[in-house]
Chain A
Amino acid sequence: MLSAEPNAMTSDMALVTAIRSGDQGAMKALYDRYSSIVYSVALRVLQETAAAEDVLQDVFMQFWRNPGAFDASRGNMAAWLAVIARNRAIDALRRRRPEDDIEDVAVSVEHDLVSEADRSRTMDRVRGALQAMPAPQRSVLEMAYFEGLSHSEIAGKTGEPLGTVKTRIRAGLLLLRKVLAA
């Protein structure tokens, strides 16, 4: 069992194991480690602090209730929480019921994002890749991701054919992957 203030070096896996045994201190440590990620994503999508706080609360409560939803052998905690937070924030933005159970969301990242230094390095490269993207492609990706617009809504907004929008979304994502793999 972890103490109330787990060491910063405690691995995500150890925290999750402690949380699975009902350790509230471990939950606090996990929150301290990842709340900024969850909150930042939610704030970017919702543009409003109170709504972002609700998503923050919701994501961590879901995790507390069902820590088994995160499969540590496959995924990366930071990436997984970021995806869950984005999805919940979009659900809140569109005022719809959550579409996914958190355990149905498997996320695979091939980069080490555990330490803040790793994350910060990776993010610099991702931001660089986004900046280097042709503006229409970046904008389609951001509309789909941060505004939760469907491809047909984006096509309606930009006046581009549906097929082009679809292609741009996928190509944009693959480009990110390629940049990081390089």
Chain B
Amino acid sequence: MNVHEQFAEDLALYALGALDDAERQKLEEHLEACASCRRELELLRGDLSLLALTTAGAKPPARARQRLMSAIAAEPRLPVGAPAPERRQRAWWTASGWPALGWAMAVALVLVGIGLLRQNSTLHQNLASLRAQFADQGSQLEQASQTVATLLDPEAMKIELVAVGNKPQPRGKAIYQRRNGNLIFFASNLPPLPAEKIYELWLFPANGGAPIAAGLFKPDARGSATVVNPPLPEAVEAKNFAVTLEPESGSHESPRGTPVIVGVGE
């Protein structure tokens, strides 16, 4: 074996993952160019695998198998090489800008998306990898996650349409599913925040109890803001939502500031 002697010891350490960054980088550069050192590295890993295999004998508990099979069932895969589901063109309704369709449908799609995401606990925070790994959950998820991504994209253009001649007013829309505690809130045209102030969303319980904090937020330069699934107590029935202007510091458990927008019901 024609291994470069100056790298021989480092190769063993590399196989063990024990080199520091600088040494590792130097060796990786050499490995790219040197087939015999690459081969030696594979053999060293083979030697190490024998060391690992000497540990054999412990049996994992049955629950580990169950856990794995459940995770796999929740993450079915298309055969490698099979065509991915056809990626939809931007849906017709996005072509002219999502506000044209109105909040209700856009948000309904978001809720579909959120619901699907929650079904998959392993992926609920990563829409991008979810699209990649769950291709076969079909175009519904594809479309929903695309919608979520669009709606939550700070770069996306958001245009408020108002009656001709009217000035845009601060407004918000809260969509709340009591059964699973999903809450999505969009606001637009909010006045810029004064120094040391912050907006806070509140849920007013139907039982007349004290308002429940549902998220602090700062609008962007255009006065838009989004709150998605703030932590809320379980299964609270809501009567209304409101946004107040609050001092940025101090407790945010109960309203201290002034109301800015308040719900008007369905």
Residues of A bordering B, CB below 8 Å? 20-22, 24, 27-28, 31-32, 35-37, 39-41, 43-44, 49, 52-53, 56-57, 60-61, 64-65, 67-68, 74, 76, 78-80, 82-83, 85-87, 90, 99-100, 105-110, 113, 119, 122-123, 126-127, 130, 141, 144-145, 148-151, 166-167, 169-170, 173-174, 176-177, 180
Can you sample 19 A-B contacts with CB below 8 Å? A28-B65, A39-B58, A40-B56, A40-B58, A64-B72, A65-B77, A74-B42, A79-B45, A83-B48, A90-B17, A109-B50, A123-B50, A126-B50, A126-B51, A150-B20, A151-B13, A170-B12, A173-B44, A173-B47
B156 at the interface (CB under 8 A from A): no
Residue interface bits B71-114, CB-to-A below 8 A is 1, else 0:
11101111110000000000000000000000000000000000
For A28, what are the chain B residues with a Cβ–Cβ distance below 8 Å? 65, 69
- B56's contact among A20, A37, A169, by CB below 8 Å, is which? A37
The tally of residues in B whose CB lies under 8 Å from a CB in A reads 49
Instruction: Known pairs A31-B65, A176-B47; list 16 more (Cβ under 8 Å).
Output: A24-B76, A36-B59, A52-B58, A57-B67, A78-B53, A79-B45, A86-B48, A100-B17, A106-B45, A107-B49, A108-B45, A126-B54, A144-B16, A173-B44, A176-B51, A177-B47
Contact B68 A57 (CB under 8 A): yes
Shortest Cβ gap from B52 to chain A (Å): 4
Dominant SS among interface residues on chain B: helix
